[in-house]
Amino acid sequence: MTELLNPQRRRFIQMGLLASTCVVATPSTALAALASSAKMKELAFRNLHTDEKLRVTFWKNGSFDRAAMQKIHHILRDHRSGDVHPISANLIEMLYSLQSKLRTDSMIEIISGYRSPKTNAMLARQSDGVARQSYHTRGLATDIRMEGVSLRQIQTTALFMRRGGVGYYPRSDFVHVDVGPVRRWG
C-alpha cells in the first residue's frame, strides 16, 4: 500500500537527508547545503570607529545577495585608510552561525574588519599582538563584540564551532574570529 507522507514527516525526512549529505560532503559542500536550507539570512553591524550601522539581508533564495555583500564590504572597510576589500563569504556565514548559536540578534560591533597591508604593517610595528601576515588583510577576519553577550560566551561558542581562529582579548574588549585554520589564543 502506498502511503502519502504528511508535511511534517516529509520535512523530517528532508532534513535527515540534508544532514546525512553534510556528514559525507566536503566542508565547503556541507556549508553550501546548510546555507541553502535557509530562505533569508540577515546580519546587523555597527562600525565602532565610524558609528555607521547596517542591517542587511545577505542571503536570499539560496544565494548571496551581491548588493548586500557590497554593503558589508563597505562597513568592514579599513577605517584608517578607507580601503574597501571583499570580505569572505565564509566569514559572513560564520558570523551568522555564531550569532544564531548565541541566540541573539544584537548588532555585531566591529572593532576591526579589513585592514590594508599598509595599516596592518603600521599596527604590527606598534604592537606585538598584531600578526604581520594577518587574516584581516585578506578579508578573512574581524574583531567583534555584541551588546548583551559576554566576550567569554562569544569566545566559547566560536571555539565550539571550529570554523577558524579565535583570539580572546578581554582587556581590549573584543574577540577575534577568522576563517583560517582552527586555532586559539589569548
Percentage with pLDDT > 90 across the chain:
70
Strand ranges in 17-113 using DSSP code E only, listed in sequence order: 40-47, 53-60, 63-64, 108-112
Fold of 39-185: Muramoyl-pentapeptide Carboxypeptidase; domain 2 (3.30.1380)
Q: For 97-151, how does the pLDDT look when each residue is reduced to its tens digit (9 = 90+)?
A: 999 999 999 999 999 999 999 998 888 888 877 777 889 999 999 999 999 999 9
pTM recorded for the entire structure: 0.78
Spatial separation of the C-alpha atoms in residues 158 and 156, rounded to whole Å = 6
Q: What are phi and psi of 57, to 5 degrees?
A: -90, 105
The CA-based dihedral angle spanning residues 40, 82, 137, 103, taken in that order and rounded to the nearest 10 degrees: -30
- One-letter amino acid at 20 equals S
